Amino acid sequence: MADPSKIQTPPQAGAEPRPADATASYWHPVLDSAALRDAPYAVQVLDQALVLWRDAHGLPHAWADRCPHRGARLSLGRVCAGQLECPYHGWRFADTGRCVQVPALPDFVPPAGHSAQVFAVQEAYGLIWVRLLEGPHSLPLFAAESDVGLRTVNCGPYDVATSAPRIVENFLDMAHFSFVHEGWLGERGRSAVDNYDVQQTATGLVATNCRAWQPQSNLHSTQGAMVEYRYEVTAPFAAVLTKVPPPGTTALAAWRESIALMICPVTAQSSRVWFRLAVADFDSPDAVLQAFQNTIFVQDQPVLESQTPRCLPLDPRAELHTAADKASAAYRRFLKRADIGFGTC
Ligand code: FES
Ligand SMILES: [Fe+2]
């Protein structure tokens, strides 16, 4: 697991990120569930350093990674008997966040104010999710999760030196297939993007009737095919694509797949990315399914990291747009409407 501190990048001239705002009231993924065991774990989201740990019941907790006594990083401490112990003076914190023991004063009963800063946390989709501020939003929906005809596998995390919205926009973008994914998701002679439909929704947008000629659209493709896509933005930094290739173009009969993109906005200009695949394939090893996704994302990453500014410009005049970009234009309008300042400019 990479250290989030290693992917922080200084702001670029002329692209000062806007301060965090509504973004903090959404749920964001921060870590693979399986990575959190019996030791505290440091992560970062929206510039906030967090310590994650599991209590005696195995339930996760997410607190500010700062001891309220003298500011030491709680993630350097340890979990003892279902409590988190600070590495500096050994203060013990119960799962509520409240300090229950100060070893230097054995008879002292800490008052309620002696508490760590606690954030809301939950587990879903094989990941740990955190929300820094109260808000009305649910976890991003992944409808394919409950489809018994599909099997789920996570890919990632990928640490990417750009903002979360740049990554979502790339996920919605079909015009890059023939260049970035030449020979896989597109080919140069067939780069035209046919008209498609975009509608705003409560969580973002849905784009339908998207079509792309793809030489190798999935792991089991046996020939090129005109593949139909549907995209849905399910939260400011989450999206789902579903695609169904024509019958007979894959080695697996009735192949279909749905891919959820889930992004942790580590800083305004650096992100941690997961894909959750739901695929009609119960036989291929996880590593084989993940390898195909890795191949595609490794093609995207250098281009994503080359884009300037790293924050996504919401002013329509800041970059040029064509009709092929109408999904990304709708996404930018949604971010503006939803007051998403983190990772935008
Ligand atoms: S800094 Fe944590 S116990 Fe002193
Ligand atoms: Fe791509």
State whether residue 12 is helix, strand or coil: coil
**Residue 56: helix, strand or coil by DSSP?**
coil
Q: Place 215 in a pLDDT band, splitting at 50, 70 and 90.
A: very high
Q: Which amino acid does the sequence have at 232?
A: E
Whether residue 93 has its Cβ less than 6 Å from ligand 1: no
User: Can you tell me the distance from the alpha carbon of 302 to that of 209, in angstroms, rounded to the nearest whole number?
Assistant: 29
Question: At 57, is the pLDDT very low, low, confident or very high (cuts 50, 70, 90)?
Answer: very high
pLDDT at 10 over 70: no
Residues 219-244: what's their mean pLDDT?
Answer: 95
The whole-number pLDDT of residue 91 equals 98
Residues 187, 340: Cα–Cα separation, whole Å = 35
72 within ligand 1 shell (Cβ under 6 A)? yes
Q: Which CATH architecture has domain 19-131?
A: 3-layer Sandwich (2.102)
For ligand 1, atom 3, name the residue with the nearest CA: 89
For ligand 1, the distance from its centroid to the CA atom of residue 63, given in whole angstroms, is 15
Q: What pLDDT does 12 receive? A: 39
If you average pLDDT over residues 4-33, what whole number do you get?
Answer: 64
Give, rounded to a whole angstrom, the gap between the first and last alpha carbons of the chain. Answer: 30
Q: Is the pLDDT of residue 18 over 50?
A: no
Residue 338 scores a pLDDT above 90: yes
Task: Name the residue at shortest CA distance from atom 1 of ligand 1.
Answer: 70
Nearest ligand 1 atom, CA 77: 2
Residue-wise pLDDT for 126-152, tens only, equals: 999 999 999 999 999 999 999 999 999
- Indicate whether 1 pLDDT > 80: no
Residues with CB under 5 A from ligand 2 (ion): 300
Ligand nearest to the CA of 104: 1
What are the tens digits of pLDDT across the range 68-106? 999 999 999 999 999 999 999 999 999 999 999 999 999
Q: Where are the domains of the chain?
A: 19-131, 143-337
Select from 3.30.450.20, 3.30.1540.10, 3.90.380.10, 2.120.10.30 the CATH code of 143-337. Answer: 3.90.380.10
Return the pLDDT at 21: 81
Instruction: pLDDT band for 301, please (50, 70, 90 cuts).
Output: very high
Q: Is the CB of 89 under 6 A from ligand 1?
A: yes
Query: Residue 239 pLDDT > 80, yes or no?
Result: yes
Tell whether the model's pLDDT for residue 61 goes beyond 60.
yes
Centre a 10 Å sphere on the Cβ of residue 154 and count the other Cβ atoms it contains. 21
pLDDT at 15 exceeding the cut of 50: no
Q: Does 103 sit in the ligand 1 pocket, CB within 6 Å?
A: no
Reply yes or no on whether the pLDDT at 13 is more than 60: no
CB of 18 shorter than 6 A to ligand 1 = no
Tokens at residue 5, please? 């501190």
Q: Is 36 touching ligand 1 by the criterion CB < 6 Å?
A: no
Distance 275 CA to ligand 2 centre (A): 13
Question: pLDDT averaged over the chain?
Answer: 93
Residue 9 in this model has a pLDDT that exceeds 50: no
Backbone angles phi, psi at 18, to 5 degrees: -80, 155
* Confidence bin at 253 (pLDDT 50/70/90): confident
Confidence of residue 5 (pLDDT cuts 50, 70, 90): very low
pLDDT score for 276: 98
Tokens of 168: 């979502």
Ligand 1 atom showing the smallest separation from residue 102 Cα: 3
DSSP code, position 115? B
Say if pTM beats, i.e. exceeds, 0.75: yes
Q: Over the stretch 36-55, which tens digit does the pLDDT of each residue have?
A: 999 999 999 999 999 999 99
Please choose from 89, 92, 98, 114 the residue to mutate so as to test ligand 1's pocket, defined by most ligand atoms within 8 A of CB. Answer: 89
Nearest to 85 by CA among 46, 122, 39, 49: 39
> 85 alpha carbon to ligand 1 midpoint, in Å?
9
CA of 69 to the centre of ligand 1 (A): 5
**pLDDT of 64 higher than 50:** yes
Q: How far is the CA of 19 from the centre of ligand 2 (A)?
A: 28
Cβ of 67 less than 6 Å from ligand 1:
yes
Mutate which of 51, 65, 66, 69 for ligand 1 pocket (most atoms within 8 A of beta carbon): 69
116 lines ligand 1 (CB under 6 A): no
Residue 36's nearest CA partner among 129, 133, 159, 152 is 129
Task: Give me the pLDDT at residue 16, please.
Answer: 44
Structure token digits, residue 102: 């100060």
Q: 76 CB less than 6 Å from ligand 1?
A: no
Q: For 254-279, how does the pLDDT look when each residue is reduced to its tens digit (9 = 90+)?
A: 899 999 999 999 999 999 999 999 99
